[in-house]
């Protein structure tokens, strides 16, 4: 039974490491102003009448949209490797790696997180291998108990308490 739980844990951990769907949902983002190529999901700004002595910066644009009318709800999904979000203008996604999104001063935490996840999976592989070896090795019961003890230690070190 411990072998099957260990295998399930190892499989789910590997899938989680490789997946970019740790978190998914919609995020509220401001709608862009309508212009060239933008006909939907944008804010229409009426053309302002300029007076003779008003410069381009002094012209005021009024928008009557309030509340959620000014925002679009964009789909996103993210994982440890990539963060992807829906493009407002089209049907495709824009994906960026975690190195692009993280400031250089904060990248050490991400590398530490990645290293600990790889260590966790490595310890699960060791525990799974020792449990399989214990099942297949039927010669000496004392050796089987030693293998079980080492499998339990690597399982506890990985943080996966299944034995």
Contact between 17 and 121 (Cβ < 8 Å): yes
Q: Is residue 163 part of a domain?
A: no
Mean pLDDT calculated for residue range 72-81: 80
The structure's pTM equals 0.61
Q: Is residue 88 part of a domain?
A: yes
Number of separate domains in the chain: 1
| The residue to which tokens 């339990």 are assigned | 152
pLDDT tens digits, one per residue of 85-104: 887 766 788 888 888 888 88
- CATH (domain of 103): 1.20.140
Range of the domain at 10: 2-158
- DSSP string spanning 100-141? HHS-GGGHHHHHHHHHHHHHHHHHHHHHHHHHHHHHH--S-H
pLDDT tens digits, one per residue of 21-62: 888 888 777 776 666 655 566 665 555 444 444 555 555 555
């Amino acid at each position: 039974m411990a072998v099957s739980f260990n295998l399930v844990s190892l499989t789910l951990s590997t899938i989680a490491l490789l997946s970019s769907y740790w978190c998914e949902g919609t995020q509220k983002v401001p709608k862009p102003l309508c212009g060239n190529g933008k006909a939907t999901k944008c804010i229409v700004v009426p053309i302002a009448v300029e007076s003779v002595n008003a410069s381009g910066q002094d012209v005021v644009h009024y928008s009557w949209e309030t509340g959620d009318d000014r925002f679009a709800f964009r789909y996103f999904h993210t994982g440890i490797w990539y963060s992807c979000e829906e493009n407002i203008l089209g049907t495709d996604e824009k994906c960026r790696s975690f190195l692009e999104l993280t400031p250089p001063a904060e990248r050490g935490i991400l590398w530490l997180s990645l290293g600990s996840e790889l260590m966790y999976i490595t310890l699960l592989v060791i525990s799974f291998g020792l449990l399989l070896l214990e099942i297949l090795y039927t010669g000496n019961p004392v050796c089987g108990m030693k293998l079980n003890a080492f499998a339990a230690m690597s399982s506890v070190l990985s943080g996966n308490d299944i034995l």
